[in-house]
Structure 1
């Protein structure tokens, strides 16, 4: 599957030894000091191929869409954060096909281009080559953007291992910088990549959800990249309290695409991920230049609609 990231509003996609940091940001990161007495939690997920340590008060790292480790792409976030500083965190694993990447730099460019076109007030600060964990090559960049009219910053770190692509990110207001960055550096330093235990399964076309019942405006923005293009989207809440995102997608590639899939990731006002869901275009296969409607339904009873502030849309095809 080829993977195209669309409509990221603070995408936060996360990854103890010395990290090679060459930019002014990297120097600042190394100079920051955090809570040296905080406890640490070990996290290991053989299905996405990663092991790392993180502060215990960050809560648990969880799959946003339960069982997504079986899919070509899987987004993880935090559950139960109890820090005394505000931040957002995300870790994403993608297969070579879903990433549509031939190299680490393809992966970096995909993430960067998405944020340039989707974040309000996006401004690039710096980037540099780095080392993740003991000796994994990586790349990172720092940026700023506007959230609710206030400037915040973000850091994205990218890596690849055995044809699996990883992006790890945090976003934060300036007042959280001194406490967050030292902890984030420790997380990056602790990373160990593992052979992925392949459990990817194909989802049949009868899982399509394509009913369109109306819409209301929302704060999400859209992003156009080559291949698949989301032409429009909006959201509404039904009588059962479920959130729906409806829209239209177009295949801009010169060839037909099958199993066109749209993934929605939902965030609260603090940029914490609170849920994820996916659906297929209707019909799921699109010829060159074809358009089709789609509908994503967030059915998780554990995610009240009142928590959702904005969302990300991503599209992929087989």
Structure 2
């Protein structure tokens, strides 16, 4: 069971090594990187490449670890008891299975994505230590222990918004997805926009990387944003000459796909004004 990338996902050699190492060690793969670098999509492509079902758990700021195991709906049970419903005699009727439970009881190995783990409270990763390590948990309301029939491939993503606990990190295989260089980005673009003109691609990516390296930029555009930008350029039938323009503006064409706040737009407007003033 080896991951080598897919036709729809360009995986660098160090990324495929990390995925396969985590699978071999049977440890969660913790993937960090800038937003938009393909962390979530990696899990989907691993599932597709290995022909495995996938279960996605998207973490929010209000998510608790217990929700990944199960939730006991005491309110519904109380209501049903007041209505004389026979279901109240079996507490299992009020247990809602979480994503980990679904992964543990699956009839075959699955890929379990725990997406953006750093969005939750700092205790969230610690609360999952034992379950991810032992691949089992206890349901106190029913007295049963749920054990994984097949150890899932667990992929955990983080945008590095907060530090994760050391005890959690020790149990993971870690990989940081570096931002793609120009050549890797060209391969990624070719997957999404096959046959794009080389002159347009080279000019567009040169502008894109120059923009990313601009000092003072608050939010650097990501891979997903450059793909959206190129889609717009193709839809408008622009060529390399259109992108170069007359040099009067430091802002690239259709810059709204790349710059996502007014501070960065104003930054490039000031750069253009300063450039004109020096002439």
TM-score (norm. length: structure 2): 0.23
Q: Which has the higher strand share?
A: 1
Structure of higher CA gyration radius: 2
Q: Which has the higher helix share?
A: 2
